[in-house]
């Protein structure tokens, strides 16, 4: 499984990165049993759609997974709606599955100024998350876990990919994406023994650490990673006014494993 960072800027796009968006790909087979690279998108925040096209043809997106419904995590569905509905060359790959909170279809229609009926239903197949209930797409199994963020539904997403290796054996890798959250039992559950933990660290110790239930600091992200026994910690969702070095230094206080900060355009093998 490969993870490409499309956008890692917290709360709004920065000069070097869109808001939250991550491309995840894995090898599998299609319905006819032929080899296929499957591609899913974790969140589609504002500014992400343009950068995303550097790494994948939009018609090759197999599904979109939304962690929650703040604009920096879902608003570029508006642009993708234009691609699907109004492309003069046509769109012949059907509706794109969009997994998200229960209000996703109505929220994105209202954001674009559409009547929710039909809204964007002709373009996207909206499917509501069910807590801790996995869904399967190609080689992927994605399971949502509830976390703490000031919105009705917020989820961490556990992504498991089972692929056939060069040795002919099946190999399963695990990526967990925190979405936006403070410390939460569901976050540790989602990240348990993950190979790579893509975790937000939007706050700084000494400035924001007294704010409860909104975001993690680097230190709290490191603590969650240690509790979950993850292999690697990749910090993300860092606002432009924060120093990524400070976030990583804070995380190092509580996490002893491999540690890095997500950068737009970088691809990681999980």
What mean pLDDT comes out for the span 89-93? 91
Nearest to 68 by CA among 42, 96, 39, 97: 42
Give me the pLDDT at residue 167, please: 78
Nearest to 43 by CA among 154, 130, 147, 149: 154
Note whether 149 and 187 are within 8 A (CB): no
- Segment 113-132, tens digit of pLDDT: 999 999 999 999 999 999 99
C-alpha dist (Å) from residue 105 to 74, 90, 111, 232: 11, 23, 10, 34
- Segment 179-192, tens digit of pLDDT: 999 999 999 999 99
What letter does residue 95 receive in the DSSP assignment? P
Give me the pLDDT at residue 165, please: 79
Share of the chain above pLDDT 90, in %: 96
- Segment 137-170, tens digit of pLDDT: 999 999 999 999 999 999 999 999 999 877 778 9
What letter does residue 10 receive in the DSSP assignment? S
What mean pLDDT comes out for the span 54-78? 98
Dig out the tokens for 29 from the structure.
């087979």
- Segment 1-17, tens digit of pLDDT: 999 999 999 999 999 99
pLDDT above 90: residue 72? yes
Give me the pLDDT at residue 6, please: 98
Residues composing the chain: 270
Note whether 76 and 47 are within 8 A (CB): yes
d(CA 128, CA 232): 30
Share of the chain above pLDDT 70, in %: 100
- Segment 202-256, tens digit of pLDDT: 999 999 989 999 999 999 999 999 999 999 999 999 999 999 999 999 999 999 9
What mean pLDDT comes out for the span 33-45? 97
Ordered by where they begin, the domains of the chain are: 2-269 (3.60.15.10)
Nearest to 39 by CA among 24, 19, 18, 21: 24
pTM (global) more than 0.85 = yes
Which residue pairs from 244-248 have beta carbons closer than 8 angstroms and sit at least 24 positions apart in sequence? 246/204, 246/218, 247/201, 247/204, 247/217, 247/218, 247/221, 248/218
pLDDT above 90: residue 83? yes
d(CA 131, CA 158): 12
Confidence of residue 48 (pLDDT cuts 50, 70, 90): very high
């Amino acid at each position: 499984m490969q993870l490409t960072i499309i956008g890692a800027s917290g709360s709004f796009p920065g000069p070097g990165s869109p808001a939250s968006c991550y491309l995840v790909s894995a090898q599998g087979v299609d319905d006819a049993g032929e080899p296929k690279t499957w591609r899913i998108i974790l969140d589609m925040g504002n500014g992400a759609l343009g950068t995303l096209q550097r790494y994948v043809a939009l018609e090759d997106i197999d599904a979109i997974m939304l962690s929650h419904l703040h604009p920096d995590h879902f608003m570029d569905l508006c642009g993708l709606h234009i691609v699907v509905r109004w492309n003069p060359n046509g769109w012949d790959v059907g509706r794109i599955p969009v997994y998200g909170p229960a209000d996703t279809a109505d929220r994105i229609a209202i954001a674009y100024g559409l009547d929710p009926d039909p809204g964007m239903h002709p373009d996207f197949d909206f499917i509501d998350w069910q807590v801790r209930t996995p869904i399967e797409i190609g080689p992927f199994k994605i399971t949502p876990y509830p976390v703490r963020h000031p919105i009705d539904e917020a989820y961490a997403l556990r992504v498991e990919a089972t692929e056939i290796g060069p040795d002919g054996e099946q190999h399963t890798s695990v990526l967990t994406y925190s979405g936006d959250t403070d410390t939460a039992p569901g976050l540790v559950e989602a990240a348990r023994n993950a190979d790579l933990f893509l975790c937000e660290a939007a706050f700084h110790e000494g400035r924001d650490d007294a704010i409860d239930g909104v975001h993690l600091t680097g230190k709290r992200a490191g603590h969650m990673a240690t509790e979950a026994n993850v292999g690697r910690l990749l910090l993300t969702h860092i606002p432009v006014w924060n120093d990524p070095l400070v976030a990583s230094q804070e995380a190092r206080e509580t996490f002893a494993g491999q540690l890095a900060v997500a950068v737009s355009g970088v691809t990681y093998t999980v």
